Amino acid sequence: MIDKIDALKTVDNPFVTNNPTSWCPGCGNFSILETLNKTLFDVGLKPQDVLLVSGIGQAAKLPHYIHAHGLNTLHGRALPSALGAHVANVDLKIILNSGDGDTYGEGGNHLLHNIRRNIDIVHIVHNNQVYGLTKGQGSPTTPLGQVTRLQFDGMRSEAISPLALAISLGCGFVARSFSGDSEHLEEMIKAAMNHKGYALIDVMQPCVSFNKINTYKWYKDRAFKLPEDYDPKDKIKAFEMAQMFGDEGIPMGILYKEDKSDFMSRIPHITKPLVSYDRKPDDIEKLLDALI
């Protein structure tokens, strides 16, 4: 019975498209797409309320597979595009999907500074610890020494710890989830959508074609949910949890949460969506008076 209701919901879900995807069969991206579709519908949004922003990569194809507004930009550049979109129209709910290379590599500088800005977006990182679209090179989250299709003798750089990075930058919502646990992922996305400010969810997402080490099983065997008494406001503890990744276990959940003013609330003279201001050439007359 429950199955039937869920099926009905899916049929009626206006976010769902029949567009064919170009992801490999078994890709971890599918469950992120399905979960996002379901969550957007569950929280009562309409496709017209949502802008899906992305850069380039396998994860970045996602806006083409959801029925909503889309802004599919350049590799690494989803965040600055999202900043502009958000400034233009605060009424749009912005969901950004990007891969680990797109976010932590090419777009690293933008990540730092948009977390500082605290723009009000949900940022879902499809982190498969490898480059998929370019076929198997190491990414910023591939561990030191791990062999890839390019790094034959193993990675020569250490992996970054994206969640520790986000916490250190003052990100107000830092979470980890797993594409193999859509119930948990849905919970995280909903919590992120309720957070006012930058909400980062790093999602462990197996690449079935190019990462033979960090597989479904590898993640499943290591992932654990944060205990119920975990306090996400404890920054020191969160920093410790954020750096735990690998055989010692991988914590899932909201690692850190802090409520703070978001970017647009720091620009109080803008009181409605910027796009809705009426502007005329003679608006500058008073500025011209000052030049006499």
Partner 1 sequence: MRKTIIIAGAAGEGINTVELYVEKLLKQEGYEIYAYKNYMSRVRGGYNYSTITIGQERVYSTESHADIFIALNAEAVENASAQIKADGTLIALSGLKSKHDFEGKIIWVDEEELKNITKNKNSFGMVAVGMIIKWFGGEESILEKINNKKWSDSINSANKACAKWGYEQMESVHMPARADEERIILNGNQAVALGALSAGLGFYCAYPMAPSTGIMNYLAAQEKKMNIVVEQAEDEIAAAMSAIGSASNGVRSMTGTSGGGFALMVESIGFAAVSEVPIVICNVQRPGPATGLPTRTEQADLAFVVTASQGEFARIVMAPRTVSDAYYSTFRAFNLAEKYQVPVIILSDQLLADSVQSIDRVDTSSLKIQRHLKEDFDPKYKRYDFENISGNRKYPGLDSQTLIMTDSHVHDEYGKVTESEEMTIALKNKFLNRIEAIKKELSAPEFYGSENYDTLFLSWGSTYGALREAVDELNSRGNEVAMISFTDVFPIRENVLEPFIRPDVRVINVEGNAMNQFGKILRMETGVKFSHSINRYDGRPFTSAFIAEAYEVIKND
Strand partners for 251: 224
Q: Binding pattern to partner 1, positions 225-254, x when CB under 8 A?
A: ------------------------------
Q: Is 251 helix (H, G, I), strand (E, B) or coil?
A: strand
Name the segment binding partner 1 (CB under 8 A); options: 35-43, 62-70, 212-220, 230-238: 62-70
Neighbours of 263 (CB within 10 A): 19
Q: Are 147 and 153 in contact (CB under 8 A)?
A: yes
Closest distance of CB 251 from partner 1, Å: 30
Q: Which residue reads 């970054």 in tokens?
A: 160
Name the amino acid, one letter, at 28: G
CA distances to 43, 91, 254, 281 from 278, rounded to whole Å, are 32, 17, 41, 11
Distance spanning both ends of the chain, measured CA to CA: 77
Q: Which is nearer to partner 1, 81 or 148 (CB)?
A: 81
Nearer to partner 1, 19 or 243 (CB): 19
42, amino acid identity? D
| Among 6, 9, 19, 213, interactor with partner 1 by CB under 8 A | 19
- Of 10, 30, 45, 87, the residue at the interface with partner 1 (CB under 8 A) is 87
Give the CA diameter of the chain.
77
Q: Show contacts with partner 1 in window 92-121 (CB under 8 A).
A: 92, 109-110, 112-113
Window 38 to 57, contacts with partner 1 (CB under 8 A): 47-48, 51, 53, 56
Determine the Cα–Cα distance for residues 209 and 52; give it in Å rounded to an integer: 26
Q: Which is nearer to partner 1, 68 or 252 (CB)?
A: 68
* Closest by Cα among 178, 182, 239 to 214: 178
d(Cα 123, Cα 78) in Å, to the nearest integer?
Answer: 10
Closest approach of partner 1 to the CB of residue 19, in Å:
7
Residue 260: other Cβ atoms inside 10 A: 12
**Where does the chain have alpha helices with state H?**
2-12, 29-42, 78-88, 100, 108-117, 162-168, 182-194, 216-222, 235-242, 285-289
Q: Which stretch binds partner 1 (CB under 8 A): 63-71, 125-133, 154-162, 187-195?
A: 63-71
Residue among 89 and 209 whose Cβ is closer to partner 1: 89
277 binds partner 1 (CB under 8 A): yes
Is 86 or 126 the residue whose CB approaches partner 1 more closely?
A: 86
| Between 116 and 217, CB nearer to partner 1 | 116
Select from 23-31, 152-160, 244-252, 284-292 the region that touches partner 1 (CB under 8 A): 284-292
Binding-site residue total for partner 1 (CB under 8 A)?
A: 54
Binding site for partner 1 (CB under 8 A): 19, 47-48, 51, 53, 56, 61, 63-64, 67-74, 77, 79-89, 91-92, 109-110, 112-113, 267, 269-270, 273-275, 277, 279-288, 291-292
